[in-house]
């Protein structure tokens, strides 16, 4: 289902995929319709892949907030195989990760971009924010540089039957790599999603931020005045 490696415009698509891979807090969910519009207007992806992304967006719109947030945490915070910090797939906790982080941070700085304090440069949504600022050919080539990690991430998400496989597969399409179609499970019954959890069955912490939970990350363009606001969908 891969697309040809062509220099068609993809900036809005990269930005939309970046947001879809972030924690689905209230602000993100409020802009899901705009993300869908950006993906369809730019048409950098095939119709099949757009349909898969529509299914993910529809699911995020339909699920109760706590359920959507809990599913995200369960998907991306439960093991290295689905980590969105890409250097965890390559370097793990080795000392090599530090220099790689510095090199990537310098790449952002050379483009006139800064990370907000405490943000890590290898977080996939950050990489996509950076790619979206580059010319189409360079942006696709940049994504292709870490396509082997995306392939491993996609395989892990497909094994979990996660709807988040759709944006990862879309990235591989943009990089000119072949990615498998993503089958997203039918929407859960509304009565089921609104069912009361058992007492003390994790409901007190579902969807709440924790120090080790990925947070929305926004690249900020350098200015001489007050810090610019981060990118918004």
**pLDDT tens digits for range 146-170:** 999 999 999 999 999 999 999 999 9
Q: Quick one: pLDDT at residue 97?
A: 66
Domain housing 132: 11-203
Residue 52 falls inside a structural domain: yes
Q: Quick one: pLDDT at residue 178?
A: 84
Of the ranges 5-19, 75-89, 149-163, 190-204, the best mean pLDDT one = 149-163
Provide the whole-model pTM.
0.74
User: Per-residue confidence at 187, pLDDT binned at 50, 70, 90?
Assistant: very low
Domain tally for the chain? 1
Sign of CA dihedral 208, 210, 216, 220: positive
Residue 157 falls inside a structural domain: yes
Least Cα distance to 85 among 113, 127, 51 occurs for 127
Residue 211 falls inside a structural domain: no
CA 138/CA 198 separation, integer angstroms:
51
User: Per-residue confidence at 228, pLDDT binned at 50, 70, 90?
Assistant: very low
Cβ within 8 Å of residue 231, ≥6 positions away = 15, 129, 218, 219
Number of H helices, E strands in the chain: 12, 2
Residue 184 falls inside a structural domain: yes
User: Per-residue confidence at 206, pLDDT binned at 50, 70, 90?
Assistant: very low
Residue 1 falls inside a structural domain: no
Q: Is the pLDDT of residue 25 over 80?
A: yes
The answer to whether the beta carbons of residues 13 and 36 sit under 8 Å apart is no
Q: Is the pLDDT of residue 49 over 60?
A: yes
Helix (H), strand (E) at residue 217: none
Residue 225 falls inside a structural domain: no
Residue 221 falls inside a structural domain: no
Q: Quick one: pLDDT at residue 140?
A: 96
Residue 174 falls inside a structural domain: yes
Q: Is the pLDDT of residue 220 over 70?
A: no
């Amino acid at each position: 289902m891969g697309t040809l490696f062509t220099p068609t415009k993809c900036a809005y698509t990269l930005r939309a995929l970046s947001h879809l891979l972030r924690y689905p807090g209230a602000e993100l969910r409020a802009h899901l319709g705009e993300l869908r519009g950006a993906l369809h207007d730019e048409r950098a992806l095939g119709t099949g892949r757009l349909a898969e992304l529509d299914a993910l967006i529809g699911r995020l719109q339909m699920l109760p907030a706590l359920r959507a947030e809990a599913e995200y945490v369960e998907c991306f915070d439960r093991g290295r195989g689905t980590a969105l910090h890409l250097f965890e797939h390559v370097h793990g906790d080795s000392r090599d990760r530090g220099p790689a982080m510095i090199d990537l941070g310098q790449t952002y700085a050379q483009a006139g971009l800064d990370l907000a304090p405490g943000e890590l440069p290898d977080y996939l949504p950050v990489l996509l924010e950076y790619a979206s600022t580059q010319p189409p050919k360079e942006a696709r080539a940049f994504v292709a540089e870490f396509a082997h990690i995306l392939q491993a991430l996609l395989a892990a998400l497909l094994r979990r039957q996660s709807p988040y496989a759709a944006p990862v597969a879309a990235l591989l399409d943009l990089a000119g790599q072949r990615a498998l179609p993503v089958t997203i499970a039918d929407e859960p019954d509304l009565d089921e999603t609104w069912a009361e959890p058992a007492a003390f069955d994790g409901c007190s912490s579902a969807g709440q931020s924790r120090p080790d939970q990925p947070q929305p990350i926004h690249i900020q363009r350098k200015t001489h005045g007050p810090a610019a606001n981060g990118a918004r969908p």
